[in-house]
Amino acid sequence: MIHDLNDDVLAYAEAHSTEEWDILKQLRRSTWQHVLTPQMLSDSIQGRFLANLSRMIQPQSILELGTYTGYSTICLAAGLQAGGTIDTIEPNDELNGIQDEFWAAAGLQAAIRRHNGEALHILPGLDGPYDLVWIDADKARTEQYIEEALKRVRIGGWILVDNVLWWGKVLDDRKEKDPIAAMLERLATALANDSRVRTTLLPLRDGILMIEKLT
């Protein structure tokens, strides 16, 4: 695990939480069997967090940057209103088959609009407004993704950004050796002092930055 949260603590958290949905267990197994970098998948606690937040917000429209095999898409759909939609962007179209299989099994195909391509090329064609945005994409472009998301999320809506702890490398004694870590630290600092938003950085898995749009 990361930043001193050991496997025993994670196992305790999982054992004392509602069990992961069967469809997500199957998707996790399939990802580990067929995809070269399965560690990129959300863990079950992070998936529950996304599902819980979606149920609290009850979004009509969701934007996801970084679909991967579609695990987080299913979690985000947990609170989607009837007739609601998820626009999800993924550059790797070789993952479409596994996404389609499990989205169909979850009964979500009608709600999901998949866009294959680079996010910065796709986003100009998506206006929103979105109630909820999940960013788990190319880390070097995180600042650009957030700015694009802020243009498209409604006032009072939420943007969630994954991997903002960058495996602990954002800490002062480590970040100078990693340009992505240094960028993420500067970005989190700037957003914490940005009057347009209110932020909370959660030390959940590899860090999730919660951004509430105020103006």
pLDDT tens digits, one per residue of 115-163:
999 999 999 999 999 999 999 999 999 999 999 999 999 999 999 999 9
The tokens describing 191, both together, are 């957003």
Q: Does pLDDT of 47 surpass 90? A: yes
* Verdict on whether the full-model pTM lies above 0.85: yes
What is the number of domains present in the chain?
Answer: 1
* CA nearest to 163, candidates 48, 32, 2, 34: 2
pLDDT of residue 10: 82
Q: Report residue 38 CA to chain centroid gap.
A: 15
Domain of 178, in residue numbers: 7-213
Token pair 């025993």 is found at 8
Tell me the chain's radius of gyration from C-alpha atoms.
Answer: 17
Residue 80 lies in a domain: yes
Would residue 1 count as lying in a domain? no
In angstroms, the CA 165 to CA 4 distance is: 12
Q: How far are the Cα atoms of 57, 63, 70, 154, 166 from residue 129, in angstroms, in the given order?
A: 14, 9, 22, 5, 29
Indicate the length of the chain as a whole number: 215
Per-residue pLDDT, 1: 39
Please check whether residue 2 lies inside any domain of the structure. Answer: no
Alpha helices, DSSP H, located in 157-196: 179-192
* pLDDT for position 5: 52
Helical packing angle, 96-105 and 22-34, nearest 10°: 160
What is the CATH classification number for the domain harbouring 110?
3.40.50.150
